Homo-oligomer: A and B are copies of this chain.
Amino acid sequence: MPGEAERIERIASLARRSSDDLILGIGDDAAIIRKNDTHWWLISTDSQIENVHFRRDYTPPRMLGHKALAVNLSDLAAMGGTPRFALLSLNLPKDIEQSFVDEILVGMVALADQYSTILVGGDIAASGNGLAMTITIIGECPAGRALRRDGAKLGDLIFATGRLGLAAIGLQLLQRGHRYDPALPIHLQQLILAHLQPTPRLEIGQRLAERNLATSLIDISDGLSTDLYHICQASGVGAIVYAEDIPVATHVPEEVNTTALENALNGGEDYELLFTVPRGRVAQIESLRAQFNDLPITLIGEITSEPGRMYLERAGERTPLRPRGHDHLRQEE
């Protein structure tokens, strides 16, 4: 089965059309539509599907509602946008309890309220098999300020927010039978919550866009290696990543048989931001750090000239870095 990128390219080649008020169509984290002279709309959609993205047995329904919206908010964060409205399409299997559905909504609306986002419509249908939620998110940004994947330039420095790989490690713990429990040791709880209840990085995305600090921006939904590759492909550049500088999990439980670095590179679902900054503006990242003092903003590499070529530098040695992040479609083979 072809991977997601190939399928999207195929659809884009069939469906690409232009229009006066369409600024950007298929291919980035969100489409851009002109709202008025001062603002643009940003629109994106993303699904959470049972037994593909989550299992009901290890997912508290409030956290599921939170996450279904959070992954969409993250797509707006990845453009520097501010969310405004959401639509929810809910496919309900026969065996689902009404209380489970209510809790999903409570979790979703709590996160929506946090970002003044209003659920304005949707659709409910029976599902042949399994629970599925598709959310469409509508946000806005000042005209001309959206941050895309395609602006990275030779010499730009690469930054990431937060710590990477935690969500993938948390998922492995859940798959091994661990469950979310407020009484868990803090280091396990943090890993599990990274998977179940990700935080969309909206504020920092907005600051990057407002101050014109980044030349490209994406959210890390598929894993650092794959999302950096998306930037490289779209921008026609390459990249070097310094392995020692990647902010990885500080604790990997023994039962997880992958390293912190492997999870950071290829794990997926971190929903942190990855962005490139021209060297001349790097000093301004300091003032950003001062504003977000709980959130690491880490220099992890730089943009090179060879299109699509990525390297990992470790102990002074460079090895090719391939996009090996999460792809639900390709994994099905």
Give residues in A with beta carbon < 8 Å to B.
Answer: 1-2, 4, 7-8, 10-11, 14-15, 17-19, 21-22, 25-26, 30-31, 33, 35-36, 43-47, 49-53, 84-85, 87-89, 91-92, 94, 98, 101-102, 105-106, 108-109, 112-113, 116, 118-130, 132, 134, 136, 138, 328-329, 331-332
Contact = CB atoms under 8 A, between A and B. Distances in A.
A85 B24 CA distance: 12
A18 B122 CA distance: 17
A332 B126 contact: yes
A91 to B, nearest CB: 6
Copies in the complex: 2
Contacts of A119: 11, 15, 17, 25-26
6 contacts: A10-B102, A11-B119, A18-B118, A44-B121, A45-B134, A126-B328
A88 B45 CA distance: 8
A127 B52 contact: yes
Contacts of A35: 35-36
B4 A124 contact: yes
A89 B47 contact: yes
Contacts of A331: 126
